Amino acid sequence: MRGDFAPVHDPCIIKAEGRYHVFCTGHEGQEPGLIPWRTSRDLVHWEVEGAVFESIPEWAKDAVPGTRGMWAPDIAFFNDRYHLWYSVSTFGSNRSVIGLATNATLDPDSPDFRWQDQGLVVMSNSGDNFNAIDSNHIQDREGRHWLTLGSFWSGIKMFPLDAKTGKPPPDNPKVLSLASRPVPEGAPGAIEAPFMIERDGYYYLFASYDYCCRGVSSSYYIVVGRSRDVTGPFVGHDRRSMMDGYGMMLLRGNREFRGPGHNAFLKDEDGDYLVYHAYDTQNDGLATLRISPVDWTQDGWPTVSL
């Protein structure tokens, strides 16, 4: 990797208009702004393009007092527009919101380039059993749109989306459960950052287990399960359910890079790639963009090396 590839935390990626675009978590007072945006033509050389937001939207600050950042974006293209979901929260709280910004193009030189905030998508409060952060969009084989999300609390959730708005339909507040990590009463379940893909008749659900955000002490690792149905049940290669805290271990840290997690997935012309952050032990534990090729076993399970 070359150029400006750190700090990058909670990356998402899309290939568009001849370039790869990575968006990630950003905080107030840090350059280049909120939801930093980097681009590359080869997945190796990266440069900062700018940021999606200069400041946190007022509606989000009102909904989540004390927030200082915009976290964990996800991006997709449909209905002739780029849709970028983002999270606003405070650390350790499930008083959180997911918002949506849209753009007609990712070419900043185009006269049509303008990020437009579409406001609230999903909100969670202290009385809810889920946390509205870490969203990921998928369109299933039937053309239906879904948003997976969640961290800690009771685990990973899924909401149906209206394709016209990129938000849950107002008459269908249905919440589905996809994965959890049962723990003793009163302790949080360390599971978050879902990402889902479809491949060869299966839906694959990736999630990050254990703890991020602790630099070289981070214990994050990535697991995956699969299901024939987009709503689950998702199981690991040993058939044990992700609702019971299982799944196939996909990627752990090593001596150089600790705590790999919060992955996205890129399907490119030359193959598949896992995109994630890890903490660089040679650079004071800085959260760093990592991109690893994905191989597939004969029975359809992904394998990745750090």
CATH at 241 = 2.115.10.20
pLDDT of 210 reads 93
pLDDT surpasses 80 at 172? no
Containing 221, the helix (H) or strand (E) segment is strand 221-227
Q: Which residues contact 133 (CB under 8 A, 6 or more apart)?
A: 71, 72, 87, 89, 96, 98, 149, 150, 151, 192
What is the pLDDT averaged over residues 28-50? Answer: 96
**DSSP reduced 3-state for 62:** helix
Token duo for residue 71: 């976290």
Strand partners, 298: none
pLDDT of 244 reads 94
Q: Please, what is the average pLDDT of the chain?
A: 95
Q: Which residues contact 176 (CB under 8 A, 6 or more apart)?
A: 157, 158, 159, 231, 232
What is the pLDDT averaged over residues 214-238? Answer: 97
pLDDT tier, 92 (very low <50, low <70, confident <90, very high otherwise): confident
What is the pLDDT averaged over residues 246-273? Answer: 97
Q: How many independent structural domains does the chain possess?
A: 1
What is the pLDDT averaged over residues 50-79? Answer: 97
Task: With beta carbons less than 8 A apart as the criterion, state whether 233 and 244 touch.
Answer: no
Task: Write the single-letter amino acid at 73.
Answer: P
Q: What is the dihedral of CA 20, 157, 223, 265, to 10 degrees?
A: -10
pTM of the model: 0.96
Of residues 88, 105, 143, the one with CA closest to residue 17: 105
pLDDT of 174 reads 81
pLDDT digits (tens, 9 = 90+) for 8-24: 999 999 999 889 999 99
pLDDT surpasses 90 at 184? no
**40 CA to centre of own chain:** 19
pLDDT surpasses 70 at 188? no
Report how far residue 235's alpha carbon sits from residue 247's, in angstroms, rounded to the nearest whole number.
6
Report how far residue 49's alpha carbon sits from residue 240's, in angstroms, rounded to the nearest whole number.
43
pLDDT of 12 reads 98
Q: Which residue has the higher pLDDT, 172 or 213?
A: 213
Task: Give residue 213's domain range.
Answer: 2-304
Task: Write the single-letter amino acid at 280.
Answer: D
Task: With beta carbons less than 8 A apart as the criterion, state whether 99 and 63 touch.
Answer: no
Task: With beta carbons less than 8 A apart as the criterion, state whether 245 and 204 touch.
Answer: no
Catalytic residues: 10, 192
pLDDT of 187 reads 54
pLDDT tier, 185 (very low <50, low <70, confident <90, very high otherwise): low
Q: Which residues contact 99 (CB under 8 A, 6 or more apart)?
A: 57, 59, 60, 85, 86, 87, 88, 117, 118, 119, 120, 121
Containing 61, the helix (H) or strand (E) segment is helix 58-63
Token duo for residue 239: 């058939």
**Range from 82-86, 143-147, 150-154, 301-305 carrying the lowest mean pLDDT:** 150-154
